[in-house]
Amino acid sequence: MRPTTFTAYRWEVRKLLSQKRTYIGVGAAALLPVVFVSVMALQTGGPYDAPLGHNLRHTGIALALVVLTFASRFGAQLATALVAGDIVANEDAGGTLKMILTRSLRRGQILGGKILASFTYVVALLAALLATGLVGGTIAWGFNPVIDLSGHRVSALHALGLSFAALAVFSVPLLSIASFGIFLSAVTRSSAAAIVGTLVYELVQEAVVGLVHWQPLHHYMLSAQFDAWHGVFQTPVFWPPVVRALWVSALFAAVPLALAFLVFSRRDVAGD
């Protein structure tokens, strides 16, 4: 029986699990809420004006999402770029690409496995942040109801469910960033170029939002989609930004991924 994309995916995940830098990224994501809550314990102030920030010190459920608000400006993209930008280029530079391309998998299947593994890593990053945020926040401030962004009181259990949904919405534009990183990784064959290029890509999006004063454009930039999860924490749920985040992010992912497949399936694999 011939191997499948799932075979490639399974081994890509195993490779990630065998590398220290994977744990450094996930560990850093897990540590953020712990550091955040520790710093807050040492002072009276806090980022109360951040989305859901007014819940801090009243309930632990909001902690992860407040941390995510700060991480969404750069940290999450950095961690994503480090893995996505490296996942093809590293094998190219290390010479292992020429080895796996002479086996029984199609090039598209190998790239598919790498894309899925990168996406899994992004989800793991966010899951780690949410998990320690919930545990750390609950230990510090309890498992209490949340006042949502439209001022309604939401039960703790319902808020927990909303946190998962908010994180899922947040992950979508992050997966688009990962897609761009994978594209650069496949095209440039250089981990450094792909990682830096991915971060520059994100910064350019932020710069466009800051410099171009045409509001409709802002809604359709990838960077704006990182705030779409706010819609989940409104009563009733405010769907337009969530739906927009889904299709805008899908578009921002589809183009680089299609180009990555096109380039990767045809390009020469030259010297080590």
Q: Is 42 in the site for other proteins (CB under 8 A)?
A: no
Please say whether the beta carbons of 220 and 190 come within 8 A: no
CB of 43 or CB of 102, closer to other proteins: 102
Q: How many residues does the chain have?
A: 272
| Position 18 contacts other proteins (CB under 8 A) | yes
- Tell which one of 13, 28, 58, 98 touches other proteins (CB under 8 A): 98
Residue 123 class from Cβ within 10 Å (0-12 exposed, 13-18 middle, 19+ buried)? middle
Nearer to other proteins, 38 or 96 (CB): 96
The answer to whether 219 touches 225, Cβ cutoff 8 Å, is no
Distance CA 145, CA 156 (A): 4
Nearer Cβ to other proteins (50/101)? 101
Which residues are within 8 A (CB) of 29 and not within 5 positions of it... i.e. 6 or more apart?
71, 76, 79, 125, 126, 128, 129
Binding pattern to other proteins, positions 207-246, x when CB under 8 A? ----------------------------------------
DSSP assigned state of 221: S
Of 213 and 266, which has the nearer Cβ to other proteins? 266
- If you ran DSSP here, which 8-state letter would residue 142 be given? -
Q: Could you say whether residue 101 binds other proteins (CB under 8 A)?
A: yes
For the chain, list the strands marked E by DSSP.
146-147, 153-154
Is residue 100 close enough to count as binding other proteins by CB under 8 A? yes
Q: Is there a contact between 219 and 228 (Cβ–Cβ < 8 Å)?
A: no
To 5 degrees, how large is the angle CA 21–CA 128–CA 39? 95
How far is it, in rounded angstroms, from Cα 240 to Cα 229?
11
102 binds other proteins (CB under 8 A): yes
The dihedral region occupied by 65, where left means phi > 0, alpha psi between -120 and 50, and beta the remainder, is alpha
Decide: is 8 part of the binding site for other proteins (CB under 8 A).
yes
**266 near other proteins, judged by CB under 8 A:** yes
Q: Judged by CB, which is closer to other proteins: 14, or 153?
A: 14
Q: Cβ contacts of residue 2 below 8 Å, gap of 6+?
A: 104, 105
Query: Is 142 among the residues that bind other proteins (CB under 8 A)?
Result: no
Is 10 one of the binding residues for other proteins (CB under 8 A)? yes
Min CB(28)–other proteins separation in Å: 20
Place of tokens 């407040």: 66
Which range of residues in 6-14, 38-46, 54-62, 225-233 is near other proteins by CB under 8 A?
6-14
> Considering the complex, what minimum distance in angstroms separates the CB of residue 168 from other proteins?
31
Tokens of 192: 């450094």
Residue 116 binding other proteins, by CB under 8 A: no
* Residue 191 Cβ vs other proteins, minimum distance, rounded to whole Å: 15
Paired tokens of 191: 């981990």
Say whether residue 58 binds other proteins (CB under 8 A): no
| Residue 19 engages other proteins in binding (rule: CB under 8 A) | yes
Footprint of other proteins on this chain (CB under 8 A)?
Answer: 1-3, 7-8, 10-11, 14-15, 18-19, 94-96, 98-107, 266, 268-272
